[in-house]
Amino acid sequence: MKDLGVDAYRFSISWSRIFPNGSGAINQAGVDHYNKVINALLAKGIEPYVTMYHWDLPQALEDKYLGWLSNEIINDFANYAETLFQKFGDRVKQWITFNEPHSFTVQGYDTALHAPGRCSILQLCKAGNSSTEPYIVAHNVLRSHASVADIYRKKYKKVQGGSLGIAFNVIWYENETDTQKDIDAAQRAQDFQLGWFLDPLVFGDYPSSMRSRVGDRLPKFSEAEAALLKGSLDFVGINHYTTYYARDNSTNFMGTLLHDSIADSGTITLPFKGIKAIGERANSIWLYIVPRGLRSLMNYINKKYGNPPVVITENGMDDPNSPFTSVKDALKDEKRIRYLNGYLSALLDSIKDGCNVKGHFVWSVLDNWEWSAGYSSRFGLYYVDYKDKLKRYPKQSVAWYINFLKPNK
C-alpha cells in the first residue's frame, strides 16, 4: 500500500475476535492482532478506516436470541463498539459502524442468500418471515448505530477527535422510461435501498413511501430514538459499483402475496432495457460499468440530504478467476483501468458540481473471498495466486493507480 501511494486503508474488525461469545470476556489475542495491523499502517503513514461490523455476527448471539432480530443486540453491539474506542481510539480516527446494512438485512432475512439464511418465500427456508424480519433487523441496526454514536460523542469524540459513519451499498437507479410512473418507481427503488437507512439518520424517520407501502409492518421510532438518530453520522460512506434501470411494478400480483421488502417497493430493477445492457459487464452477473451513475448519485445525496461529507468506501470491478487463464494474462486488466478511470472522472465531475466528496477507496487491494461468489471473482489490484502460497502480483491497474495518485498529476 505504501508503494501504491495510498494514504488510507479500510478494513474490518471481527466482533468474535474481540468477544468470542459476543459479550463478556475480551479475547486479548484479538486485541493484540488489530493493534499490530493499526500500528503497521500508521508506521507507513496510512490512516486506518475501521469498520466495526461486516456481517460476521458472533454465533453465540444468534444462538442466544436470534441476533439482529432481538432488541438485546443493541446493548451488546454498543458494548463491543465502546471496547473498540477504548482499545484503539487513541489511534483510529475514522469509524464505520456497519458495512452495507441493506445487504445483510435483505439477503439475510428476506431472500436468504446470506447468513443467517432466513426467509418465508415459497417455504424455501427452515425459518423466517420475509414480510417483517428485514424491517425489524434494519430497525435494530439503526438503533444500534444511534446508541454507539451517542456513546462516542459523550465520552470519546472530544478526547480522541474522530468521526463516525456507515457504509451504505447503493445502486443508482435510472427510470427506464420518461413516464411519471417510472420516474416515481426509480425514486421508490432508492427509498427502499438508501433511504431506508439514511432518511432516519438525517430526518429521524423512514421515507414516506415506505411508511405508506409497508404500513404496520414497518416499526416506529420513539421520539427519543428519532432525536438520537438525527445527525448521528459525521460522514456518509457509499459503496457504489453499478447502475440499473427502474420501472413501475405497482400491480405486481406476486408482490401482493409475498409482501417482502423487494415487492413492497413496487419496482422492477434490472441492468437491461429490453435485451440491451445498460453498460459493459464485469465478471459478476450484477455488475455493469456505468460511470455516469456515480455522478448522479453524488448529486442526489447533495440535494436530498444537505450535502453531507461523503467517502466512497468501495468502488471497483471484478474479473473471472478462470483455471484456464495464466497468471501473466490475468495481470492484463485493461477493463479495470477503464472502470476506475471512468468512475473517478465521474467523481471529479460531481466535486465540480459542488458535492462534498472527501475520499475514495478502490475495492479491493487484493483478490479475496467474495461472499457467495467465493474465489470465482477477482476484484483486486493485486493478483493473489491461490495455488502458490498466496503470492501477490501487481496487475496493470497498479501502475495506472500509482500514476493517478502521484502528487501534482
**Residue recorded with cell 487484493:** 366
Count CB-CB contacts under 10 A for residue 396.
Answer: 14
Question: CB count, 10 Å around CB of 271?
Answer: 19
Question: Residues near 157 by Cβ (< 8 Å), separated by ≥ 6?
Answer: none
Residues 250 and 229: their CA atoms lie apart, in Å, by 31
- Distance separating alpha carbons of residues 18 and 27, to the nearest angstrom: 5
Cα–Cα dist 49/362, whole Å: 13
Closest to 380 measured CA to CA, from 366, 395, 361: 366
- Coil/strand/helix, residue 217: helix
State the CB neighbour count (10 A cutoff) for residue 315.
19
Nearest C-alpha neighbor of 74 from the set 96, 93, 97, 50: 97
Q: Out of 174, 225, 314, 370, which one is annotated catalytic?
A: 314
Closest residue by Cα to residue 59 from 26, 15, 117, 28: 15
> Dihedral through CA 36, CA 38, CA 102, CA 140, nearest 10?
80
The answer to whether residue 314 is catalytic is yes
Distance (Å, rounded) from C-alpha 30 to C-alpha 51? 15
Residue found under cell 448521528: 232
Using CB atoms within 10 Å of the CB of residue 326, give its burial: 0 to 12 exposed, 13 to 18 middle, 19+ buried.
exposed
Q: How many other CB atoms sit within 10 Å of the CB of residue 70?
A: 16
CA distance 320 to 377: 5
CA dihedral 214, 217, 222, 227 (to 10 degrees): -40
**DSSP symbols for 318-374:** -EE--TTS-HHHHT--HHHHHHHHHHHHHHHHHHHTT--EEEE--S-SB----GGGT
Assess whether 47 carries a catalytic annotation: no
Q: Which of 100, 174, 176, 225 is catalytic?
A: 100
List residues with catalytic annotation: 100, 314
